Amino acid sequence: MEDVKQLKIWKTIALISLSLLIALGGLYLAKFSKNTQDIATTTPEASIEPQVSETPMPEEEISYLSLWTEDAPARVALEDFMKKITDENASTFVPMENRIAVFDLDGTLFCETDPVYFDHMLFMHRVLEDPDYKDKATPFQLEVADKVQHFIDTGEYLPGLDDEHGQGVASAFAGMTVKEFTAYINDFKSQPAPGYNNMKRGDAFYLPMLEIIDFLQANGFKVYIVSGTDRFIVRGIADGLSFLDIPNNQIIGSDELLVSREQGDTIGLDYTYNGEDDLILAGQFLLKNLKMNKVTVIAQEIGIQPILSFGNSTGDSSMANYVIHNNPYPSLAFMLCCDDTVRENGNVEKAQKMFDLCAENGWIPVSMKNDWTTIYGDEVTRKQAN
C-alpha cells in the first residue's frame, strides 16, 4: 500500500510539472507571435496597408446655397422645407418617389432678356442672318420676325405672337433631323451674349438657381424643366452642359410634329417605321406650353403632382398653383422677381407686379437683386448697366 501511495504522489508531481511546462510554452509562443507581428508591421509591404478606423471621419457639410445671402427668405424657406420633408420620423416626410420639382427655363434658370428669349433670337438669326436660309424665308416668317423686333424695341408682346412664333420656328427648321437641329442650336449658343461681357449665349444660366438644382438632387429630388420654349430647343440649350444634370426625358417644352423623312403626307397611323428612316421636324407647330398647358403636360408626362415649383411670370402661375393646392404633401412655389438692373437686364416695375402676385397667391418671391451674391459670376458684366 505504501508503494501505491508513493506512486500516486509521483504521478501527481509529474502531471503538475507537465502542466507548468505547457503553460510556459504557451506564453513563449504568444510572445514570439507578437514579436513576429511587430516585425511584420515594419516591412514595406505592411506599411502600405490602409489603416481602417472603426469610427468614420465625419463628412464635411456642403453649403449648396453659397451664392444666396444667408437671410434670403427663399433660401430660409427652402432649407426649412427640406429638413421637414427628409425627416423620416416627421409627419411631413415625403417619400423619394414624390420628391418632384418643376422649373421654368427663361427668366427662372436662364436669361430671357438678351434682349429677349433665346428661342426668339434663334428664330431671328435663322430668317434674317443665316446665309444658308435667309433668302428662303417666307413672308409669314418675315412678318413674325417683324413682330419679334417690335417686342425687342418696345417691350410689347403682341397678341397671338406665342403661337405665331411657334409656327415660325417649326417652319424655319423643317426638314432637319433632331441631331441637326441640336447642332444648329449649339452653334448659335456659342456666339457671344450680345448684352454681356465674358459670356456666351448658352452660358446665361443663373448660378444661384443651378445651386438650387444641385441641392434638390442631393436630397433625392427628380428635377424637370417645364418650359414655354420649344422642347428641342431647350434640349439643345442643355446639350453638353456638365453643370446641368437633367436628362432629355425630364425636359418638357412646347411641341412640334416629328415625322419620318420617307413618310411624306402619310399619316402616322398608316405608316410603318422601317428602322432606317430619319426622324425630321415636320414644320407643324402643335402646342405652346404656357399657363394651363403646363399643368396639363405635367399631369400627362410626369404623372405625379410636384411638391416644388419655380417660375418667374404669369405663364407659370397655373403651374405654381397646381403644386401648392390640394397636394397630399408639403409643397412650395417660388417666383423670381427681375429687380436687378445692374447685373441683369431687370425691370423694376415688372418685378414689383410679381412681388404683389406672390403676396396674393402664397408664392415665395426671389429677389435677384437682394437674395443673390452673383448672377452669372463676377467676371460677367452687363455692357450697358442702367
354-385 confidence digits (pLDDT tens): 999 999 999 999 999 999 999 999 999 999 75
Cell of 260: 419620318
Distance CA 155, CA 147 (A): 11
C-alpha cell at 23: 503553460
For the purposes of burial, counting CB atoms within 10 Å of the CB of 378, is it exposed (0-12), middle (13-18) or buried (19 or more)? exposed
| pLDDT tens by residue, 280-293 | 999 999 999 999 99
Task: Tell me: pLDDT of 8 over 60.
Answer: no
* Rg of the chain, C-alpha, whole Å: 34
CA pair distance 263, 270, nearest whole angstrom: 9
Backbone angles phi, psi at 367, to 5 degrees: -90, 115
Q: CB under 8 Å to 131, separation ≥6 — which residues?
A: none
Instruction: Give me the residues paired with residue 322 across strands.
Output: none
Q: Of 236, 104, 93, 225, whose CA–CA distance to 177 is shortest?
A: 236
Give the pLDDT score at 235. 98
Residue 290 corresponds to which cell in the numbers above? 404656357
Q: What SS3 class is residue 284?
A: strand
**Residue among 16, 86, 81, 130 nearest 330 (CA):** 81
- Output phi, psi for 49, to 5 deg: -70, 135
Cβ–Cβ < 8 Å for 352, 327: no
| pLDDT value at residue 374 | 98
Report the C-alpha gap between 187 and 175 in whole angstroms.
Answer: 18
pLDDT of residue 384: 74
Q: Are 264 and 200 in contact (CB under 8 A)?
A: no
Sequence length of the chain is 386
C-alpha separations of 223 from 235, 252, 287, 316 in Å:
14, 11, 22, 16
Task: Assign 305 to helix, strand or coil.
Answer: coil
- Give the whole-angstrom CA distance, residue 121 versus residue 126: 9
The residue with cell 409669314 is: 140
| Cell 418685378 -> residue | 351
Percent of the chain with pLDDT over 70: 83
Q: What is the pLDDT of residue 22?
A: 44
Q: What is the pLDDT of residue 14?
A: 46
Measure the CA–CA gap between 161 and 39, rounded to whole angstroms. 83
pLDDT at 385: 53
- Cis before 208? omega within 30: no
pLDDT of residue 276: 86
Alpha helices in 67-157 (DSSP H): 73-85, 118-124, 139-154
Terminal-to-terminal C-alpha distance of the chain: 124
Cell numbers at 106, concatenated? 427663361
Q: Out of 42-51, 317-326, 338-347, pick the least confident.
A: 42-51
- pLDDT band at residue 192 using 50, 70 and 90 as cut-offs: very high
Euclidean distance between CA atoms 22 and 66, whole angstroms? 69
pLDDT digits (tens, 9 = 90+) for 125-135: 999 999 999 99
Distances (CA, A) of 337 to 140, 193, 279, 303, 373: 34, 22, 39, 29, 15
Select from 287, 285, 284 the least CA-distant residue to 254: 287
CA gap 123, 108 in Å, rounded: 21
- What is the per-residue pLDDT across 10-25, written as a single tens digit (0 to 9) for each? 444 444 444 444 444 4
C-alpha cell at 329: 404633401
Partner residues linked to 311 by β-bridges: 335
Cβ neighbours, 10 Å, residue 211: 18
- Indicate whether 136 pLDDT > 50: yes
Closest of 224, 232, 290 to residue 256, by C-alpha = 232
Spatial contact of 245 and 222, defined as CB atoms under 8 Å apart: no
pLDDT(225) > 90:
yes
Contact by Cβ (8 Å): 88, 219:
no
Q: State the pLDDT at residue 62.
A: 65
Mean pLDDT of the region 342-357? 97
Whether 338 and 344 have beta carbons less than 8 Å apart is answered as: yes
Look at the pTM and tell me if it is higher than 0.75: yes
